[in-house]
Structure 1
Amino acid sequence: MADGYARVSGKPGVAFVITGPGLTNTLTAMAQAKADSIPMLVVSGLGRSDTLGKGLGRLHELPDQGAMVATLCHSETVTDPKTLGDVLDRAFAAMTGARPGPAHIQISTNMMGVGCPALPPPADLATVPLPFGRLRGVANALNAAERVVILAGGGTRGHGAALRALAESIDAPVIQTVNGRGILPLGHRLSVPASPSIDPVRKLMAEADQILALGTELGPTDYDMYAKGGVPDLSGMIRIDICPDQLARHPARHALRGDAGAVMAALLPMLLRSNRSGGVRAEATRQAARAELASLGAALPGQLAMIEAIRAANPGAIIVGDSTQPVYAANLYYDHDRPGGWFNAATGYGALGYGPGAAVGASIAAPGVPVICVVGDGGLQFSPGELRTALDENLPITFVVWNNAGFREIAEAMEAAKVPVLGCSPSPLAMEAFAFACGMPFLAIPPDPAVLTDALSHPQEGPRLIEVQVR
């Protein structure tokens, strides 16, 4: 929930959880936030300070709760109420000072009732200085190139205007990773809203004489999701990232540390406008990428059409995805009409059950904006209680459940690998009865885009569930 709120609001999401199981249940969401660079503060309880580490069998006891979380992110214990302000400053610096991500604060139960002095104003967060001395070299390389291609990752979120201005200045196609989708306006002539895992997009990258990678970790769930290798050589790229660790992980001709938006704004006056056939190259790639879907799987075009039906029925909506087949299809090729309005957990950490809770957070962050959660019947069983939360908060979320009676994506991968298919057919929920138990309207439809568009056009008050009966 905090993750979805942060993605839509642009501000850190905050979750308060109980000791022990409250925190362990939250670790999966924290790992997804870390993988996708989402600022999330988790504040948890901790056992009494005089019992910690003693193995007394107390309620919610763990050997070392803070150490467990510290393997994932910044974690700190409040040992004195007077230090709370400093602890919060350090947590926010960890969440937002460089590469965004989760942070954790824990407070012993015996300290929760202790008075706390008024907190001082928050400390100013240090900013990463722009590498002005090296920007001219980057600008010269971009000006000298004839076939620039831009890779736009999640680090470009919130910087759509700067990215558009830069791309138009050097006439460069913009390949968007999943976390970068929607960063350019729908249908922009330079937009390539397609996965660098598929051949037409890789061809565009291979034919470039200069790659500019902006805020992307170049991870395999975006760049090699089929694990077949063949990613074009990127060692000559210009790479901009706020995280120094990322810059050390892949060779680059120019590697600059900095916020993507600030670097783009500083570069723009140094660039020479020219026509480099960027629109032609982008259009050819879009057409080839879309055509490629059918060769990757006969069902993919139809699954993509369902996502496009949602966009057509609800312009400007926020579509939150779980790990389910239509979301996988759209991650390969899909152009959204709202910056930051397409996100899911099917890349990066890949947590099943992410979608419903994230949709709740997204709806809270954007009141009045349609929110559609696309989740499979298998993924829904990981977090069904989030639908009750949507009802309790009277949030107008549409839960579109892709019911293929199991984990079909996993089953098909096992079949392709010629191994026995095991554990992929959990007993499906009776969706109508489940919706009734949750107290929300229900509609069952076939996997037909026109029928889905019609279903989404009906007036809505509060949450509702639409079951797409695939099998």
Structure 2
Amino acid sequence: MTQRAELSTGEAIIDLLEAYGVDTIFGIPGVHNVEMYRALPRSGIRHVLARHEQGAGFMADGYARATGRPGVCFTITGPGLTNILTPLGQAWSDSSNVLVISSALDIGDSAQGRGRLHEMIDQRGAAASVTALAMRAYTPKDVRDGVARAFAHFASQRPRPAYLEIPLDLLKEPAGGGWEARGLPGLPAPAAGDIERAIARLNAAKAPMILLGGGALQAGGAALEIAEKLKAPIVTTTAGKGAVPANHPLCLGYVMGHDAIWRMFAESDAILCAGSELSETDFWNDRVVIERNLIRIDIDPAVISRPHMAEIAILGDAGQALAAIARGIVARPGEAKAQFDHGESDQLRVMLAKVLGVIRDALPEDTVICSDMTQIAYAANEIFPVSQPRSWIHPVGFGTLGFALPAGIGAKFGRPDTPVAVMIGDYGLQYTINELGTAAEHKLPIIVLLWNNDALGQIRDDMVRKGIQPNAVTLRNPDFQMLARAYGLRADRPDSLKALAAAIRAALSSDGPTLIEMTPRMVHG
């Protein structure tokens, strides 16, 4: 695809992104990036106008997690970049491929303290703190190379965001030639010797276990084959939910926060862990360290042996590694079922379990659910069954509020034929509530499941547990029903669990978004 020499760099980048398979860009045009928008009307790329750069970043993240393809954003100098840093931090922490392309001040007049509009001391440096690649272009060739680097990274390394900034004067320069998509590398294959060692260790094990993270979402078939041959239980991280069907008799799901699971790890003589950082936010305890019997598969050499001791460290793609291991495992006779006692539930968990049971029964099995940092989602991480990969999307590592709504919008743009629901709390919704307008504008039939307890419930409960008198944890909420309708959404506030099921069924057949407001009172209706 040879570009005409008179195309500007700002125009040529649109054709280049399209050549790499980009079909959607989330962003907001501004005085400093309009040159990036000049060629959009004649391209095949759809642009989604967010209400805030934070929303655009979360949309790109939701798109990436739901589809497995990179999510792309356009933003502007200064505040555009600082507004999108939170979504970039979430994408970096949760291993999500997001590309942010931003304008920057002129090559010869940036960071000089001359009072330029949107001036920052080090815009690229700010982006570098939450990205795997942070690049600044000085020539058209730098732009071409920067985009190529980003997509090569996405294709072959641990998923993490990339950033490219293009100075204002460069955006208007003639692009020249060479704006073709380049061949991309594949995921690295594991070493055969490491695979053989893992097979021998697993075949000899008396109490093997399997642990799947987000890096193994597409490797569930091989993981199940290993589990069924070994009669080994499967545990997942939150990011790994859906790698294997939740109803499989060997799947325990996400239960890593329980003492009983830590004891199972300690008693296992072979723990096969694939695609997980095994971080504090997986265990919700920074003191859990697996010190022996760990076979670890990961694409990231920086984490493969920390903080846990990997006796067999396999660097490479989890899918290829698990498939190779599966071929060498000797099947054991008999049937097996994983057993785990969740222990007694408190009143809150019992109530939330009733609500989540109704939601699960009412939603189609393939529904993509984007959840937020809220009590109902914390419970759902453990007890809400998911049977397909990329259908449970939660902001685990960075843990930011307001993620779920824009992420759900991005997921729906990425998978328009799949039902999408958002699970969010009353406080978190108000971080990005303006994106209800984006959902309404595009008539996206997403379901916003709002848990309204008129409080920062988790923080209030934490204060009580720590002997702190609850303060600054109650708020005056808006009338969410009126607010949703003001944005053009259907709105419902069911007064019973039966009414909740009916409201979800009605929302599934709607031609636009619906907000369903759930309250603790509903459970007793």
Q: Same fold (TM over 0.5)?
A: yes
Displacement, 1:272?
Answer: 0.6
| 1:408 matches 2:457 | yes
| 1:206 matches 2:263 | no
Query: 2:355 aligns to what?
Result: 306
Q: How does 1:265-280 map to 2 (within 5 A)?
A: 265-275=323-333, 279-280=336-337
- CA change 1:396–1:234 in 2 (3 A) is farther
| 1:338 matches 2:383 | no
Residue 242 (structure 1) aligned to one of 282, 299, 302: 299
User: Where does the alignment leave 5 or more consecutive residues of structure 2 unmatched?
Assistant: 1-58
Residue 82 (structure 1) aligned to one of 116, 130, 141: 141
Query: 1:382 aligns to what?
Result: 431
The number of equivalent residue pairs is 457
Displacement, 1:126?
Answer: 5.3
Tell me the secondary structure at the aligned position of residue 387 of structure 2: coil
Displacement, 1:79?
Answer: 0.9
Distance in structure 2 (CA, Å) of the matches to 1:449 and 1:327: 18
Residue 363 (structure 1) aligned to one of 377, 391, 412: 412
Contact 1:301 1:329 in 2 (8 A): no
- CA change 1:276–1:85 in 2 (3 A) is farther
| 1:392 matches 2:441 | yes
Distance in structure 2 (CA, Å) of the matches to 1:302 and 1:396: 28
Distance in structure 1 (CA, Å) of the matches to 2:246 and 2:311: 32
Query: 2:500 aligns to what?
Result: 452
Distance in structure 2 (CA, Å) of the matches to 1:212 and 1:248: 13
Amino acid at match of 1:56: R
Query: 1:256 aligns to what?
Result: 314
Larger deviation: 406-415 or 266-275? Answer: 266-275
Distance in structure 2 (CA, Å) of the matches to 1:200 and 1:4: 33
Distance in structure 2 (CA, Å) of the matches to 1:189 and 1:449: 29
Query: 2:110 aligns to what?
Result: 52
Distance in structure 2 (CA, Å) of the matches to 1:158 and 1:151: 14
- CA change 1:293–1:319 in 2 (3 A) is farther
- CA change 1:56–1:470 in 2 (3 A) is farther
Distance in structure 1 (CA, Å) of the matches to 2:456 and 2:283: 23
- CA change 1:87–1:360 in 2 (3 A) is same
Query: 2:11 aligns to what?
Result: none
Contact 2:241 2:392 in 1 (8 A): yes
Q: How does 1:31-42 map to 2 (within 5 A)?
A: 31-42=89-100
Amino acid at match of 2:292: S
User: Where does the alignment leave 5 or more consecutive residues of structure 1 unmatched?
Assistant: none
| 1:468 matches 2:500 | no
Query: 1:193 aligns to what?
Result: 253
Distance in structure 2 (CA, Å) of the matches to 1:232 and 1:356: 34
- Cα offsets for 1:107-137 (capped at 9, x unmatched): 1112222232341332322542321122111
Identical-pair percentage: 33
Larger deviation: 247-256 or 330-339? Answer: 330-339
Amino acid at match of 1:377: D
Distance in structure 2 (CA, Å) of the matches to 1:336 and 1:269: 27
- CA change 1:411–1:276 in 2 (3 A) is farther
Amino acid at match of 1:90: R
Residue 172 (structure 2) aligned to one of 96, 105, 113: 113
- Cα offsets for 1:220-253 (capped at 9, x unmatched): 112135x6x4x36442211111100111312111
Distance in structure 1 (CA, Å) of the matches to 2:242 and 2:442: 28
Tell me the secondary structure at the aligned position of residue 109 of structure 2: coil
Tell me the secondary structure at the aligned position of residue 29 of structure 1: helix
Tell me the secondary structure at the aligned position of residue 362 of structure 1: helix
- Cα offsets for 1:195-239 (capped at 9, x unmatched): 2111333333233221111111111112135x6x4x364422111
Tell me the secondary structure at the aligned position of residue 493 of structure 2: strand
Distance in structure 1 (CA, Å) of the matches to 2:73 and 2:355: 33
Cα RMSD of the aligned pairs, angstroms, is: 1.7
Contact 1:311 1:317 in 2 (8 A): no
Query: 2:50 aligns to what?
Result: none
Contact 2:155 2:186 in 1 (8 A): no
Contact 1:211 1:234 in 2 (8 A): no
Amino acid at match of 1:322: D
Amino acid at match of 1:202: W
| 1:158 matches 2:211 | no
Tell me the secondary structure at the aligned position of residue 169 of structure 1: helix
Tell me the secondary structure at the aligned position of residue 247 of structure 1: coil
Displacement, 1:94?
Answer: 3.2
Contact 1:97 1:125 in 2 (8 A): yes
